[in-house]
Amino acid sequence: MTMEGKALRSIVLVQAKTYFGLTNLVYNLRRVVFWQTRPFQASSEKKLKT
């Protein structure tokens, strides 16, 4: 493999890791926001009070 090929491969690998890392971060943030903004149901409020 030439030096240019190695450099290009390493750049693509870093880009792929960054893309998947950001995708995972956005997914996790959406889950957190969903659970924080989700209204409690009547049954779960009763469980919390007792």
The tens place of each residue's pLDDT in the chain, 50 residues long, gives 788 899 999 999 999 999 999 999 999 999 988 888 776 655 555 555 55
Nearest-angstrom CA–CA distance, 36 and 43:
17
Tokens 């890392």 map to which residue?
21
pLDDT of residue 3: 87
* Burial class of residue 20 (count of CB atoms within 10 Å of its CB; 0-12, 13-18, 19+): exposed
